[in-house]
Amino acid sequence: MADDRPHILLVEDELHLARGICFNLEQEGYRVSHVESGEEALDKLQYDRFALIILDVMLPGRDGFAVCREVRQLDVRVPILMLTARADEGDRITGLASGADDYLIKPFNLPEFLLRVRGMLRRSSWYRPEPVDEAYRFGENEVHLLSYHARTPQGEIDLTELEVKMLALFFQREGETIPRKTLLESVWGYTSDTETRTLDNFIVRIRKYFEPDPTQPVYFQTVRGVGYRFSRKAGTGDQ
Ligand code: CA
């Protein structure tokens, strides 16, 4: 019988914590594979596909950041949740720059962890890609949401699952200011008013792909105190 439970890969060397995580994810109806190092995780990715990867930063051998970059070479789309022991802003930025989609600071509480996992695995009901993979163009960029691919003046880019979710929302609501809360709910499945810099760091990544000058964004604009606005015609936001 085919096992259609979402398959999660957990990369965590602290066995006590890993056992607890596995137990609880399995209780929630997920299938979990657990490995203790980045090397083993990369081996697994050679022949298996996962719905989500949960990746600890502090690992023996290569750290979580290095592993994350290598995972992205093998599987561009898979959502990656990083676990970091340090409440260090630098770590979170490094994590997101390495290709992770979100992070959780240890020690975390179980309900929050499970909400985060559920959110990242959720198939968004609002996101229904066009049956034909038409290019969405702005400036010198061309984005194909269905094939998770973009062409930019800097070259070809493969997009992650969460990047596609975010871009689809921006394109659908072009010209509108989208509140932070809406973005966090739609892309990451956050249900509460969690204070997080994930969104802002993610926008930094998107700007690096598509903005002629990421420090002076013209397409992905900040609307201070509210959220972000996408405009296909270059304009200026509040900053
Ligand atoms: Ca660890």
58 Cα to the center of ligand 1, angstroms: 4
Q: What is the pLDDT of residue 189?
A: 85
SS3 182: helix
Q: What is the pLDDT of residue 134?
A: 77
Fold adopted by 136-230: Arc Repressor Mutant, subunit A (1.10.10)
Task: Flag residues of the chain having pLDDT under 50.
Answer: 124-126, 239
Q: What is the pLDDT of residue 126?
A: 46
209 Cα to the center of ligand 1, angstroms: 31
Residue pLDDT, tens place only, 30-86: 999 999 999 999 999 998 989 999 999 999 999 999 999 999 988 888 999 999 876
83 Cα to the center of ligand 1, angstroms: 9
Token pair belonging to 52: 């989500």
- Across 46-193, the runs of DSSP E, i.e. the strands, are 52-56, 80-84, 102-105, 136-138, 141-144, 149-152, 155-158, 177-179
Q: What is the pLDDT of residue 57?
A: 93
Q: What is the pLDDT of residue 200?
A: 92
| Residue 226 per-residue DSSP state | T
Q: Are 120 and 11 in contact (CB under 8 A)?
A: no
- Across 50-182, the runs of DSSP E, i.e. the strands, are 52-56, 80-84, 102-105, 136-138, 141-144, 149-152, 155-158, 177-179
Q: What is the pLDDT of residue 238?
A: 53
Q: What is the pLDDT of residue 239?
A: 47
Q: What is the pLDDT of residue 131?
A: 57
17 Cα to the center of ligand 1, angstroms: 9
SS3 5: coil
Q: What are the structural domain ranges in the chain?
A: 7-126, 136-230
CATH of domain 7-126: 3.40.50.2300
182 Cα to the center of ligand 1, angstroms: 32
